[in-house]
Chains A and B, each alone.
Chain A
Amino acid sequence: MMKTMISPGQGLSRAGLALGGLLALRPAWAVNDLPGGPAVRQLDLHPPMSVIAEQQHWLHYFSLIICLVIFVAVFGVMFYSILKHRKSVGHKSANFHESVSVEIAWTIVPFIIVIFMGAMATRTVVAMKDTTNADLTIKATGHQWKWGYDYLKGEGEGIKFYSTLDATHREMSDAGKPQGDDYLLKVDNPLVVPVDRKIRIVTTANDVIHAWMVPSLGVKQDAIPGFVRDTWFRANKTGDFYGQCAELCGKEHAYMPIHVKVLSQVDYVKWSEGKKKEMAAAADDPAKVWEVADLVARGQKVYAANCAACHQASGKGAGPIKALDGSAIVQSDDKKELILIMLNGAKGGAMPSWKTLSDTEIAAVITYTKNSWSNPTGKLVQPAEIAVARQ
């Protein structure tokens, strides 16, 4: 169906071979712990980097220890019984089958234990939900398949950008040749926040449900289209912290990581000022009239970041995903159809709407597709045409 797919039968036999040669040939992964992300053969929750994460950590150990104690006690009794009360050692069965007092005891005692466990967790539940008095509010929008961040309130207000998995990682995944400690966790633009400040994350989504999770910070919140939800964290250390989308959101679900870069407050101010200047400089003049070559160069970047995951760098698509290379719609003189597909999506959302891209970006990527692979039409679409089509 798609290029990496082989038939189930072949898959099984290849897996069987892999299994056979496995213990001798265990590949030596060149991989180390990723600070702020997963460690190699990690056995426990991530080292906590916020108060909430610390409390979650504590609650996990607390409940795990209670469970282990009960487990050892109950199964100690059971295995004692299994060893001693067996027919082969000549044990004769007793004849009791009821005891009201014992039965009441083992109803009441567990009841008290679970209420106690709940009581210990209550404080944290209340604290987790208290998103008031945030120093910085950032909206995280889940898209298929990347995150968009808007700094809504606080230092850096007005900053907005998308955060996408590094394209080389997606290629390594397809090739079956993963590399690097941050494999599938590296993004182009990490979310940058200051240390020791209460950061409120407002989540929503553009298409389907996603979930924004950063284990070190003790945060996981579904991002639901049409609705806003919120959560918060206060990082107590600077550094890089990683997470991944935690709600099945379609085929590229595994490829929309979250990278939070926590800076000192001084560095954060510097970053936000720099970012604003950068945004101002990069802001395209929508009235600018472009040359084909410039627009194609710009469009190549847009394509790699947004389109190549499905349509492939080769433009050939895969399986149900349409090829752009040689496509009649792409080559057509009538630009309108392609522009409308870009803005509104097609096939019931299988091709998503890209109206969140700027006019220049849409014009660039359309121009790129019209002049790449076997489509050297020499045609171009100007940003102004997109602006008209949007109305």
Chain B
Amino acid sequence: MSAVLDHPHGHADDHAHGQPHGWRRWLFATNHKDIGTMYLLFSFAMLMVGGVLALLIRAELFQPGLQFFNPELFNQFTTMHGLIMVFGAIMPAFVGFANWMIPLQIGAADMAFARMNNLSFWLLIPAALTLVGSFFMPGGAPAAGWTLYAPLTLQMGPSMDAGIFALHIMGASSIMGAINIIVTVLNMRAPGMTLMKMPLFCWTWLITAFLLIAVMPVLAGAITMTLTDRHFGTSFFNPAGGGDPVMYQHIFWFFGHPEVYIMILPAFGIVSAIIPAFARKRLFGYASMVYATASIAILSFIVWAHHMYTTGMPVTGQLFFMYATMLIAVPTGVKIFNWLATMWRGSMTFETPMLFAVGFIFVFTMGGFTGLILAMAPVDIQLQDTYYVVAHFHYVLVAGSLYGLFAGVYYWGPKWTGVMYSETRGKIHFWGSLISFNITFFPMHFLGLAGMPRRYADYPMQFADFNMIASIGAFGFGLMQVYFFLFVAVPMMRGKGERAAQKPWEGSEGLEWEVPSPAPWHTFETPPKLDASGTRVIA
């Protein structure tokens, strides 16, 4: 704190703090807002790459029979779609939000470790290039599924090593980002911003950051063992040498289950900011929201093997993981109920951020319920590795995480860019996305119930109609995101549109609305003095 307090004033003359221009501003960026912007643009680019892969998958599945791609290439598409969306699109997007909003929300001048912040972003670029570039390696990209199950990974070509390397770099980037967020939140809050006054977005990110630090090294271990099995004669997962392929799954999902909460908790935080703002009413049950988030995070460590009911666990294992998994419904339910109680007897308006937030609650809950059904081990035996699972996790990751991100972009975008988006275009984006999303993924529930396995390049003809509907929806959904970029995001970035007021939303609260729009390059250089609620600057 003292470093911030002692910061020299009149730094226009201070050459050490001169603002770099042109490409230097971005390559050597240490400003949290610049780095946040780069994270968001990077993640949107990756969303487009992953989205094109998804559309190639849906094009092939539009009709039974192989029309466009051989099954080998198809498997590369499904694998890379998953890896790119998880590690390239969703996770960096939330880090972008954290960079932009956490210092603004807690009244800090910047992130704690500005140069590490720069490194954690720029590491993503070579990692992404390596990952996407693996398509052009001999034998093509990894094709073992995003879960990279052994021993199939041992059969992959050299691109598997490139993929492992890329994941390592992305993991290092995530860990650095997480450390930065924890240190910033714990040490750089303005005086008076106690932990229990902190906006929920900061809380959910604080908890997410701990999850990241806990599980990214576990993934690193799993893929390193895969690497040594591939090249250095070890047999961690290779049954021919006495290894255990199921051990890989245990290690992977010990990472993988917390990972899905890493991708949803910050979205909970965004929605928890937006619902009260547009209901013009304080968030209901703030403390229980914090406790529920922490409970979800803790429970996420003891449910991993519900991804593995069909591996043939002993009966006690199945029962333990079934009950533990179902318990997660309790804190998740608390969150839904709290949002509902926040809306109840409010004075609501439905600008685009609110639409996405309410859409999030509605569609995410559907994904939550299918999760509860999948948690029942006997039912999961029917549905494991079918399209039902595909439907389930796209309901929580697209309609959950991605809608949370869009809600946040519309809500805070005016603060970032200083201009309002077009409300009509925002509504077109919302309704177009909601409808096409459901056309894409709702029929997949039926396909899964009927037993269509996932990761199939071709399928029995009885599944044809629902696949065709899903493919049509997918292309619609893809187009809506291009629309968002061209007609919402680009105009805002170019400053085209109505000037945004300092506080464009009548009911919003928090320190980010205490600085002008667009937020100046440096904010809160001296710690602000806060009122008792921690939401207003009084001096």
B37 to chain A, nearest CB (A): 29
* Contact between chains at B346 and A94 (CB < 8 Å): yes
User: Which residues of B have CB within 8 Å of A31?
Assistant: 461-462, 464
User: Which residues of B have CB within 8 Å of A52?
Assistant: 378
B275 to chain A, nearest CB (A): 11
* Contact between chains at B373 and A63 (CB < 8 Å): yes
* Contact between chains at B446 and A41 (CB < 8 Å): yes
Query: What is the bound-complex CA distance between A185 and B446, given in angstroms?
Result: 19
User: Which residues of B have CB within 8 Å of A40?
Assistant: 462, 465
Residue in B closest to A320 when the chains form the complex, CB atoms: B139
* Contact between chains at B451 and A253 (CB < 8 Å): no
B311-356 contacts to A, CB under 8 A, are 311-312, 314-315, 318-319, 322-323, 326-327, 329-330, 333-334, 336-337, 340-350
* Contact between chains at B312 and A222 (CB < 8 Å): yes
Query: What is the bound-complex CA distance between A63 and B457, given in angstroms?
Result: 31
The binding surface of chain B is classed by DSSP as helix
Partner of A248, one of B152, B349, B384: B152
Residue in B closest to A257 when the chains form the complex, CB atoms: B460
Among the 9-residue stretches A173-181, A260-268, A281-289, A330-338, the one with 4 or more Cβ atoms under 8 Å from chain B is A173-181
Residue in B closest to A2 when the chains form the complex, CB atoms: B70
Q: Does B145 contact A (CB under 8 A)?
A: yes
Partner of B344, one of A42, A85, A125, A174: A85
* Contact between chains at A220 and B462 (CB < 8 Å): no
B58 to chain A, nearest CB (A): 8
A18 to chain B, nearest CB (A): 6
B431-474 contacts to A, CB under 8 A, are 446, 449-453, 455-466, 468, 471-472
* Contact between chains at A252 and B451 (CB < 8 Å): no
Query: What is the bound-complex CA distance between A64 and B388, given in angstroms?
Result: 13
Using A63-B376, A85-B343, A98-B285 as known contacts, say yes or no to A12 and B55 having CB atoms under 8 A apart: yes
User: Which residues of B have CB within 8 Å of A74?
Assistant: 336-337, 340, 365
* Contact between chains at B348 and A29 (CB < 8 Å): no
* Contact between chains at A18 and B64 (CB < 8 Å): no
> Size band of the B side of the interface?
35 or more
Q: Does B424 contact A (CB under 8 A)?
A: no
Among the 9-residue stretches B181-189, B263-271, B276-284, B412-420, the one with 4 or more Cβ atoms under 8 Å from chain A is B276-284
Using A6-B68, A87-B280, A121-B322 as known contacts, say yes or no to A107 and B347 having CB atoms under 8 A apart: no
* Contact between chains at B311 and A254 (CB < 8 Å): no
Interface centre among A18, A26, A249, A350 (most CB of B within 10 A): A18
Among the 9-residue stretches B168-176, B197-205, B239-247, B494-502, the one with 4 or more Cβ atoms under 8 Å from chain A is B239-247
Q: Does B286 contact A (CB under 8 A)?
A: yes
Query: What is the bound-complex CA distance between A387 and B187, given in angstroms?
Result: 73
Among the 9-residue stretches B71-79, B89-97, B515-523, the one with 4 or more Cβ atoms under 8 Å from chain A is B71-79
User: Which residues of A have CB within 8 Å of B465?
Assistant: 29, 40-41
Partner of A184, one of B143, B282, B460, B472: B460
Q: Does A357 contact B (CB under 8 A)?
A: no
Partner of B280, one of A27, A64, A93, A126: A93
A225 to chain B, nearest CB (A): 4
User: Which residues of A have CB within 8 Å of B398?
Assistant: none
Q: Does B381 contact A (CB under 8 A)?
A: yes
Using A38-B452, A87-B348, A227-B239 as known contacts, say yes or no to A173 and B66 having CB atoms under 8 A apart: yes
Q: Does B310 contact A (CB under 8 A)?
A: yes
* Contact between chains at B446 and A42 (CB < 8 Å): yes
Q: Does A4 contact B (CB under 8 A)?
A: yes
A1-49 contacts to B, CB under 8 A, are 1-6, 8, 11-12, 14-16, 18-19, 22, 26-27, 29, 31, 33-34, 37-46
Partner of B68, one of A3, A15, A103, A174: A15
Query: What is the bound-complex CA distance between A214 and B299, given in angstroms?
Result: 33
Partner of B361, one of A6, A22, A78, A229: A78
* Contact between chains at A208 and B65 (CB < 8 Å): no
Interface centre among A44, A77, A97, A221 (most CB of B within 10 A): A97
* Contact between chains at A110 and B281 (CB < 8 Å): no
Q: Does B302 contact A (CB under 8 A)?
A: no
Among the 9-residue stretches A238-246, A295-303, A372-380, the one with 4 or more Cβ atoms under 8 Å from chain B is A238-246
* Contact between chains at A64 and B373 (CB < 8 Å): yes
* Contact between chains at B347 and A91 (CB < 8 Å): yes
Can you show 24 pairs from A to B with CB atoms below 8 A apart? A5-B70, A45-B382, A46-B450, A60-B376, A63-B373, A71-B366, A81-B345, A86-B347, A94-B346, A107-B333, A114-B327, A118-B323, A125-B377, A125-B378, A173-B458, A176-B63, A215-B451, A227-B246, A244-B453, A251-B71, A251-B72, A318-B70, A320-B138, A349-B155
B residues at A contact (CB < 8 Å): 52, 55-56, 58-60, 62-73, 75, 138-140, 143-145, 149, 151-152, 154-155, 157, 239-240, 242-246, 279-288, 310-312, 314-315, 318-319, 322-323, 326-327, 329-330, 333-334, 336-337, 340-350, 358, 361-362, 365-366, 369, 372-373, 376-379, 381-382, 384-386, 446, 449-453, 455-466, 468, 471-472, 475, 507
Q: Which 6 A-B pairs have the closest CB atoms?
A: A226-B239, A229-B312, A15-B59, A42-B450, A176-B65, A38-B462
